[in-house]
Amino acid sequence: MDINGARTLDIKRMKLSPTDEAKLESDNNAETVNFEEEEDDTNGKGDISLVYKALEDSPFELDGDSAYGLCLIAKRDLKAGELLHDDTPAFFGPSADLVEDYSTPLCLGCCVVMNDGNGENRCPTCGWPICSSDCDNIEHHKANECGLFVKHDVKFPPNVEIQPCYKAIAIIRGLLVKERSPQMWEQLMTLQWKTQLQLTPFPDFEEFKENFGLPEFGEEEDWTRILGIINVNSYSFQRIEKKEGSPSFGECLFPIYSLMCHSCSPNCTWAIQYSPEFSMKVRPTVDIKKGEMLSVCYNHEFSKFGFYKRQEKIRERAEFECKCRRCVDPHDLGTDLAAVKCFKCKEGLMLPEDASDFEMDWKCDKCSYGMSPEFISSFVESLYEQSDMAEDEAQETGEPVVKIFEDFILSNSNIKVHSNHWVIAEAAHAIVRLQASNLSKLKLEEVNRFTDLCQYLLQIKNVIAPGFSNERGMLHHHLARGYYMKVKLLINTDALKTTLSEEDLINIHNVQKYAMKFWKENPHYESLTENLKREPEYLIGEAEEIKLLLEGSNVPK
């Protein structure tokens, strides 16, 4: 039985932003909006005054109307990089979407996959999976389902599949909020619990509760509503939590940040901290004016696509139609990530006039030749599959995988698709990822190509993910390290002074400083594992060497 409903991974909630910068065109006094007079309680039915109270000390406030739902707007001007608010989850649960069976259970404390020889570890009280003694007394488990499972003699594994089993853990923790914290329950009940399209029906929970071992626990209506609230509002994480090779998968329900709007070109970035707190940090990526709506990208993976593929993914996985300023523009804010070359004249670019009309033909801007969106989608998908097979092709032929990606870019960029098309950008990004960990082994011409690709990707991200976004931050990090390797190679061949001017070195050092600022002000930094924290440490040391060069000192070859 599937109780995952409209599963969303890290797609969190439906919100239709009229624009990303402008305030909603509704009354500034959100208290005058009566959300409870709607015929449908999709947007929640709890005590809205509790939400206002929870936001009293925050730099943002509640706004919205019946058309757009609840959202957060700035109370004052917000600076890029400013830490806005730490939100603690009302509840969370492990996510088993990427786990096949009970042979590798997930820890109910930290959500780690127990594949490190600890798969048999169990909570001494209830007998359910706990990875280590560190997680035995974590409140999220001890104060929630642990006692409930003992009381009702619920054994692990229950008579349900692993994916709905762990989804049920989150639901049970949500239901227990009703008993433990009635005010928080009323606040959660204000949250939207149905998706805009609602393509996936809710399950019959009576049968599931019986199979799980809790036939009398909770009303079916409450099980359904909590599942809907999770599917629409939760933030998910997939990462390495404790050690390499043991990923953790979880989803958290944050009472405040569940109210943030989605945008495919957001003005804020977010990160969930490690166990046991699982708190969420949010920072603006750009300056935000008082009264402007706060937005985040619910799924950064979808952000890489052009408008058509992105909208297709959002409708399929999150069950809503995004109306952010990027999604209503077929040119993706001028980047043309979806534009293909005309199949007839070979000169023009093909796009639909209306990005929101998924049945409209794509027409050439030179000769007006038209093609159906289904044909364009199939054509682009075939290109993506070709690029996606690069690593398999490299294993079969022995050809370097970077060379295969380079050939793909050369044969398609500005020939079959726009040079910024997302399939080209993804191939370029694949090269950057592959070479980033082996920069010291690259030749000078390879390093130059590496930095060129970083700059190429940055000119796209500068538009669709501006400011202190994760995407721009990592690209600046790679660019800074690539520049440093170039300097080292030139020093080793005594060609530095004849190749790079002092102004070039100053520009390189500025890129390094920007990348370090990204690490310092990014909410993800505190959550990095020790291995990943070495990356900014390398950057700091390299920046010191460039600084010495600018001061006239020598650095070792």
Q: Looking at the structure, tell me whether residues 163 and 216 fall in a common domain.
A: yes
Domain that holds residue 539: 320-550
Query: Quick check: is 311 in a domain?
Result: no
Query: Quick check: is 557 in a domain?
Result: no
Q: What is the pLDDT of residues 346-392, one digit of tens each?
A: 999 999 999 999 999 999 999 999 999 999 999 999 999 999 999 99
The reported pLDDT for the residue numbered 400 is 96
Q: Looking at the structure, tell me whether residues 63 and 209 fall in a common domain.
A: yes
Share of the chain above pLDDT 90, in %: 66
User: Is the pLDDT assigned to residue 554 strictly greater than 80?
Assistant: no
Q: Looking at the structure, tell me whether residues 287 and 337 fall in a common domain.
A: no
The reported pLDDT for the residue numbered 117 is 81
Between 299 and 143, residue with greater pLDDT: 143
Query: Quick check: is 309 in a domain?
Result: no
Read off the pLDDT of each residue in 127-136 and give the average, rounded to a whole number: 91
End-to-end CA distance of the chain: 63
Query: Quick check: is 495 in a domain?
Result: yes
Cα distance between residue 484 and residue 422, in whole Å: 28
Q: Looking at the structure, tell me whether residues 210 and 131 fall in a common domain.
A: yes
Share the mean pLDDT of the chain: 87
Does the predicted TM-score (pTM) go above 0.75? yes
Between 436 and 21, residue with greater pLDDT: 436
Query: Quick check: is 314 in a domain?
Result: no
Q: Looking at the structure, tell me whether residues 24 and 103 fall in a common domain.
A: yes
Using CB atoms within 10 Å of the CB of residue 354, give its burial: 0 to 12 exposed, 13 to 18 middle, 19+ buried: exposed
Q: What is the DSSP code string of 213-253? A: T-TTSS-HHHHHHHHHHHHHH-EEEEEE-SSTT-EEEEEEE
User: Is the pLDDT assigned to residue 110 strictly greater than 50?
Assistant: yes
Read off the pLDDT of each residue in 39-48 and give the average, rounded to a whole number: 66
Query: Quick check: is 234 in a domain?
Result: yes
The reported pLDDT for the residue numbered 437 is 87
Rounding to the nearest 10 degrees, give the CA dihedral for residues 517, 523, 526, 531. Answer: -70
Three-class SS string for 476-544? Answer: HHHHHHHHHHHHHHHHHCCCHHHHCCHHHHHHHHHHHHHHHHHHHHCCCHHHCCHHHHHHHHHHHHHHH
Cis ω on the peptide bond leading into residue 124 (within 30° of 0)? no
Q: Looking at the structure, tell me whether residues 169 and 253 fall in a common domain.
A: yes
The reported pLDDT for the residue numbered 195 is 78
Q: Looking at the structure, tell me whether residues 294 and 381 fall in a common domain.
A: no
Structure tokens at 225: 């509503």
Read off the pLDDT of each residue in 192-208 and give the average, rounded to a whole number: 83
Query: Quick check: is 310 in a domain?
Result: no
Q: Looking at the structure, tell me whether residues 336 and 279 fall in a common domain.
A: no
Domain count, the chain: 2
Q: What is the pLDDT of residues 488-531, one digit of tens each?
A: 999 999 999 889 999 999 999 999 998 888 877 665 555 555 55
Q: Looking at the structure, tell me whether residues 345 and 402 fall in a common domain.
A: yes
Residue 198 sits in a domain whose CATH number is 2.170.270.10
Q: Are 512 and 543 a contacting pair, CB within 8 Å?
A: yes
Q: What is the pLDDT of residues 455-495, one digit of tens each?
A: 999 999 999 999 989 899 999 999 999 999 999 999 999 99
Read off the pLDDT of each residue in 260-266 and give the average, rounded to a whole number: 93
Q: Looking at the structure, tell me whether residues 98 and 176 fall in a common domain.
A: yes
Q: How confident is the model at residue 77 (pLDDT cuts 50, 70, 90)?
A: very high
Cα distance between residue 313 and residue 301, in whole Å: 10
Q: Looking at the structure, tell me whether residues 149 and 251 fall in a common domain.
A: yes
* Structural domain ending residue among the three candidates 300, 335, 355: 300
The reported pLDDT for the residue numbered 35 is 33
* Structural domain ending residue among the three candidates 272, 300, 328: 300
Query: Quick check: is 556 in a domain?
Result: no
Structure tokens at 200: 């996936």
Q: Looking at the structure, tell me whether residues 276 and 326 fall in a common domain.
A: no
User: Is the pLDDT assigned to residue 100 strictly greater than 60?
Assistant: yes
Residue 517 sits in a domain whose CATH number is 1.25.40
The reported pLDDT for the residue numbered 21 is 36
* Structural domain ending residue among the three candidates 240, 265, 300: 300
